[in-house]
Chains A and B, each alone.
Chain A
Amino acid sequence: MDKTLETKAAYWEPRVKTYGFQRMTGLSLIEITVRTAGIDSLGQVFCRLGDAGVGFHLVFSRPSSQGLEVCLLVTAQWAKVIEEHMQKLVEGADKLVGRTSPAEMVFFQGPHFGDRYGILDAAVGGLAARGIGMKATVCSGSCIYIVLPEGQSEEAVLALSEVFEIPRAASQKRSTPAG
């Protein structure tokens, strides 16, 4: 018999609780592919944009065959300004490829989300059940971000509400960025 006493604990609930869904509309998703050698130059562009007061709602990046694919989710009114700054980088080894599309976002948190398994599986399953396609998904810290095509966030919240438990007082908060 094992003489070592061990206590293991896990947080589990039949229907995963959240603190409510945040929904954002009127956004643009800017996707940029940048070579590894161009990271410094891209950083300089972002610094200039930051100095100009341009903020973001979500940024994420993953490797691609050409370097890094960088995605910026911003208030739609900033998209043109960002594109203009990016054009200045389109040369030599720093060459960037980009595209911009309208987007919306739903994000949410819940108890111990950063330390539990199964949250993304539940979210993806809930959206798939309603045939809702995602543009991107990010799980970082204790937050789940789902980037959706324009006009899909309301339906996405309904789909997620069937899978997750939400607070009665505030089932969802809608935010339209003011810039």
Chain B
Amino acid sequence: MIENIPVEGMASSGDLVRVNALKVCLSAELLTRFLRGLVENRINMNLFIGGEAEGGIQFTCCVAAPDGGRVKAMTDSIAHLKACVEFSAPVELLSVFPHRFNLKVLGLGLMALGRAQIPLHGFCSSLSALTFITDHTDLDQASAALEGCFGLPPDRSRTHG
């Protein structure tokens, strides 16, 4: 049984499209072209996690589902970018807050999701929230798993800022 610690709330993002450049590394120039393409199409990213890897840059990012088609059209129009970027099944961002910069909050979340065999496509912290990326279709199971290890207040209507 997983230990339970109190948090103030949990929030979900709604249906998102995940865009990945993970199997092939992008050059800095291609990353710039990708980001510039988003600007030209006025598309906001809900989340971006990128880092250097051998031979270039890898990233995963999420955009609102209605913007997915325009991102695909943009990346398809740039030959080198089209070859590097993949679009995955719809995902959801599930955030727990506050994490208080405590590794135990992350550890409990990973244990809960791992034991429930929930697909985990990444995670990251912000100033307050710890956000997990999971499949849209697994949102209910993922929420239930996290609720099992975090003590949520009775009023769960709060969302993080």
Report which A residues bind B (CB closer than 8 A): 10, 36, 39-51, 54-65, 68-69, 71, 109, 115-118, 120-121, 124-125, 128, 133-143, 147
**Chain A residues closer than 8 Å to B111, beta-carbon distance:** 39-40, 43-44, 47
- Checking B115, B124, B128 against A138 with a beta-carbon cut-off of 8 angstroms, the contacting residue is B124
Q: Interface residue count for B (Cβ, 8 Å)? A: 53
Whether the Cβ atoms of B103 and A116 lie closer than 8 Å is no
Kindly supply a per-residue 1/0 record for chain B positions 28-48, scoring 1 wherever the CB is within 8 Å of any chain A CB and 0 otherwise: 100110011011001111011
B129 interface residue per 8 A CB criterion? yes
Question: Given that A128-B32, A134-B52, A143-B126 are known contacts, is A39 also in contact with B107, CB under 8 Å in the complex?
Answer: no
Q: How far is the CA of A135 from the CA of B58 in the complex (A)?
A: 11
Query: What are 20 residue pairs bridging A and B, where the CB atoms are less than 8 Å apart in the complex?
Result: A39-B111, A41-B114, A42-B107, A43-B111, A43-B114, A46-B103, A46-B104, A50-B106, A55-B101, A56-B101, A61-B123, A62-B122, A120-B48, A134-B52, A136-B51, A138-B50, A139-B45, A140-B47, A141-B160, A142-B161
- Checking A46, A68, A120, A138 against B35 with a beta-carbon cut-off of 8 angstroms, the contacting residue is A120
Whether the Cβ atoms of A58 and B60 lie closer than 8 Å is no
Additional A-B contacts beyond A41-B114, A141-B161 (20; CB < 8 A):
A39-B113, A43-B108, A47-B103, A50-B104, A50-B107, A51-B104, A62-B51, A63-B20, A63-B60, A63-B121, A120-B48, A121-B35, A121-B36, A128-B28, A137-B48, A140-B125, A140-B126, A140-B131, A141-B129, A142-B126
Q: How far is the CA of A61 from the CA of B93 in the complex (A)?
A: 13
CB B25 to nearest CB in A, in angstroms, measures 12
Whether the Cβ atoms of B122 and A44 lie closer than 8 Å is no
**Chain B residues closer than 8 Å to A44, beta-carbon distance:** 107, 111
Q: In chain A, what residue has the closest Cβ to B20?
A: A63
**Chain A residues closer than 8 Å to B122, beta-carbon distance:** 60-63, 68
B49 interface residue per 8 A CB criterion? yes
Kindly supply a per-residue 1/0 record for chain B positions 56-95, scoring 1 wherever the CB is within 8 Å of any chain A CB and 0 otherwise: 0011100000000000000000000000000000000000
Whether the Cβ atoms of A62 and B49 lie closer than 8 Å is yes
- Checking B3, B120, B125 against A60 with a beta-carbon cut-off of 8 angstroms, the contacting residue is B125
User: Nearest 5 pairs between A and B by C-beta?
Assistant: A50-B104, A46-B107, A43-B110, A40-B114, A43-B111
Kindly supply a per-residue 1/0 record for chain B positions 111-140, scoring 1 wherever the CB is within 8 Å of any chain A CB and 0 otherwise: 111110000111111111111000000000
B102 interface residue per 8 A CB criterion? yes
Whether the Cβ atoms of A40 and B110 lie closer than 8 Å is yes
**Chain B residues closer than 8 Å to A141, beta-carbon distance:** 126-129, 131, 160-161
**Chain A residues closer than 8 Å to B60, beta-carbon distance:** 62-63
B23 interface residue per 8 A CB criterion? yes
Q: How far is the CA of A59 from the CA of B131 in the complex (A)?
A: 10
Question: Given that A42-B110, A55-B101 are known contacts, is A140 also in contact with B36, CB under 8 Å in the complex?
Answer: no
**Chain A residues closer than 8 Å to B109, beta-carbon distance:** 43
B152 interface residue per 8 A CB criterion? no
B105 interface residue per 8 A CB criterion? yes
- Checking B103, B121, B161 against A56 with a beta-carbon cut-off of 8 angstroms, the contacting residue is B103
Question: Given that A120-B35, A136-B51 are known contacts, is A68 also in contact with B107, CB under 8 Å in the complex?
Answer: no
Q: How far is the CA of A51 from the CA of B5 in the complex (A)?
A: 12
